[in-house]
Amino acid sequence: MKIVDLGASSSVINCFMAQLRDVNTQTNRTLFRGNLRRIAHAMAYEVSRTLDYSVKNIQTPLAVKEVPTYDDRIVVGTVLRAGLAFHEGFLDVFDGADAAFLSAYREEGKADDIKIHIEYIAAPHLDGSTFLLVDPMLATGGSLELAYQAFLSKGKPAKLHICCVIASRQGIERLQNAFPGDDVTLWVAAIDPQLNDRAYIVPGLGDAGDLSFGEKQ
């Protein structure tokens, strides 16, 4: 698995990340969701540079112009609900993409005893697609790995891009074991060193779903 850490170099992504993490600004839900979308826009641009392109003839009001555009059939998938704002940012950029959704929840517990339950999946056929599996937080990596296995019931993508805002080193190691080849790319905006005993990323930013949409009961 290839790993691209967009936060390793200085860019505006780090400014968006600062607002997501900062306890003084992250309580503004509109701003929080907006920063997830802005990071998605930047990440989608970087992903777009890896796609397959061919030249098309585009008719302008005055003449025909040759323009290289991508040929990949893109599907953007996410896990509800935390991934919604991040997901929308990718759809803003890949405006012809199909969308895929999976509903899952985890039983709270110790980091080494987290149980993930898959409830619902809605997705187009994925055979031959370029599949972007987007989720703001890559903690243990367990839910994301299970989500991908569930999405495989809809077919096998030709390319897989895993896109996250923050990833833990433990989660990255798990995905490296799950995806040992070079046909999978992990894109992250930040890598954090550890998980706490409840499997939350530290320093992280808290619960992305709650910060986006309010606390759940």
**pTM for the structure as a whole:** 0.92
- pLDDT by residue (tens digit) across 157-182? 999 999 999 999 999 999 999 999 88
pLDDT on residue 216: 78
Round to whole Å and give the CA distance between 206 and 151.
Answer: 27
Query: Could you tell me the residue ranges of all domains in the chain?
Result: 2-51+70-213
3-state secondary structure of 59: strand
What's the confidence (pLDDT) of residue 112?
53
Q: What is the pLDDT of residue 169?
A: 97
pLDDT of amino acid 116:
66
Q: Would you say residue 105 has pLDDT above 80? A: no
Q: Which CATH architecture has domain 2-51+70-213?
A: 3-Layer(aba) Sandwich (3.40)
Give the model confidence (pLDDT) of 117-138 as tens digits: 787 899 999 999 999 999 999 9
For 171, the enclosing helix (H) or strand (E) is helix 169-178
Nearest to 17 by CA among 137, 133, 134, 132: 137
Tell me which H or E stretch contains 91.
helix 84-93
Q: Other CB atoms closer than 10 Å to residue 79's CB: what's the count?
A: 26
- Decide if pLDDT at 208 tops 60: yes
CA dihedral 111, 143, 205, 113 (to 10 degrees): -10
